């Protein structure tokens, strides 16, 4: 074997060795993720949902965050579902959620152990989505909640989630801006809620309409942080649409529109 051929062979062997190490690392990460999300209690909860027939199958991850993973599920009718599982192992996130629970009159005397907190957090998102939907706000329809597992309508098709505003800019941004203002009015005045974390990342575009998602942190308008959170939401909304050359409404005027006279 020539020296050049030997060097080429050695190079290929090292390349394959690096690839194998990467693959092993990926498998380790996958195992760690599965163990992090599907602890014994969570596995039992998902199994019970499958047993009752609400779920027929659970497929791959749609989205992944610090506090939760969202999976693509299906029911027996082959309808797409979103299965959101909150990570009870996320100690850092646990510290941050208390301020959104305490002060909300709908959730009193909450236990402080980790699983109880995350169960309340999932129930909170279920209830927020339910109350928003009743107020005709365009949000995913919640279907079931059990401990840290939330099952809801899938916004998208065939396991592919609808794009966010950040990912796909609307063809008519002026129209979408007005639709979002209408939704926020309904959310505040009828559902008596403030989203609390509204941005282009948690507004999906589906069938040419905006769908507001991620409502676990949403609070009652009676919450001590409600006004601060509303102002932050509206600033985020105006910041995004201002970049799209939309004729935005000044924050003070917009806030008055959202709140309405009866709530001012």
Q: 């796909």: which residue's tokens?
A: 168
Band the pLDDT of 8: cuts 50, 70, 90. very low
Task: Reply yes or no on whether 104 is catalytic.
Answer: no
164 vs 158: CA distance, rounded Å? 17
Judge whether 128 and 122 are in contact, CB under 8 Å: no
CA distances for 84 relative to 18, 46, 63, 95, 119, angstroms: 35, 11, 9, 20, 12
* 112: pLDDT strictly greater than 70: no
Percentage of residues in the chain having pLDDT higher than 90 = 61
48 vs 245: CA distance, rounded Å? 50
Q: Phi first, then psi: what are they for 153, rounded to 5°?
A: -60, 140
pLDDT at 87: 82
- Interval 156-195: pLDDT, tens: 998 999 999 999 999 999 999 999 999 999 999 999 999 9
Dihedral sign from CA coordinates of 137, 151, 170, 226: positive
Token reading at 16 = 């394959």
Residues 6 or more apart in contact with residue 226 via CB below 8 angstroms: 194, 219, 220
- Interval 61-76: pLDDT, tens: 998 887 889 999 999 9
Which of 163, 67, 66, 45 shows the shortest CA–CA distance to 58? Answer: 45
From the list 104, 113, 158, 214, the catalytic residue is 214
Specify which of 54-58, 219-223, 238-242 reaches the highest per-range mean pLDDT.
238-242
* Cβ neighbour number for residue 145 with a 10 Å cutoff: 20
Band the pLDDT of 113: cuts 50, 70, 90. low
Which range, of 37-41, 83-87, 150-154, 250-254, averages the lowest pLDDT?
37-41
Token reading at 153 = 């309508």
Which of 149, 180, 191, 186 shows the shortest CA–CA distance to 248? Answer: 180
Task: Reply yes or no on whether 20 is catalytic.
Answer: no
């Amino acid at each position: 074997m020539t020296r050049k051929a030997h060097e080429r062979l050695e190079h290929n062997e090292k390349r394959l060795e690096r690839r194998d190490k990467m693959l092993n690392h990926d498998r380790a990460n996958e195992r760690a993720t599965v163990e992090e999300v599907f602890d014994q209690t969570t596995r039992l909860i998902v199994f019970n949902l499958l047993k009752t027939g609400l779920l027929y199958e659970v497929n791959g991850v749609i989205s992944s965050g610090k506090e939760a993973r969202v999976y693509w599920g299906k029911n027996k009718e082959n309808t797409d579902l979103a299965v959101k599982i909150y990570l009870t192992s996320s100690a850092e996130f646990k510290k941050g959620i208390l301020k959104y629970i305490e002060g909300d009159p709908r959730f009193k005397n909450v236990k402080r152990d980790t699983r109880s907190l995350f169960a309340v957090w999932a129930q909170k998102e279920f209830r927020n989505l339910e109350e928003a939907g009743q107020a005709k706000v365009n949000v995913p329809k919640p279907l079931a909640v059990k401990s840290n597992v939330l099952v809801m309508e899938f916004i998208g098709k065939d396991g592919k989630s609808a794009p966010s505003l950040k990912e796909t800019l609307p063809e008519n941004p002026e129209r979408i801006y007005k639709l979002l203002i209408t939704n926020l009015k309904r959310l505040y005045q009828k559902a008596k809620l403030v989203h609390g974390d509204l941005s282009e990342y948690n507004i999906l575009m589906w069938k040419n309409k905006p769908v507001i998602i991620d409502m676990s942190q949403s609070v009652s308008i009676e919450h001590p942080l409600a006004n601060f959170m509303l102002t932050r939401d509206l600033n985020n909304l105006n910041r995004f649409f201002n970049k799209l050359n939309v004729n935005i409404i000044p924050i003070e005027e917009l806030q008055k529109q959202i709140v309405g006279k009866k709530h001012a």
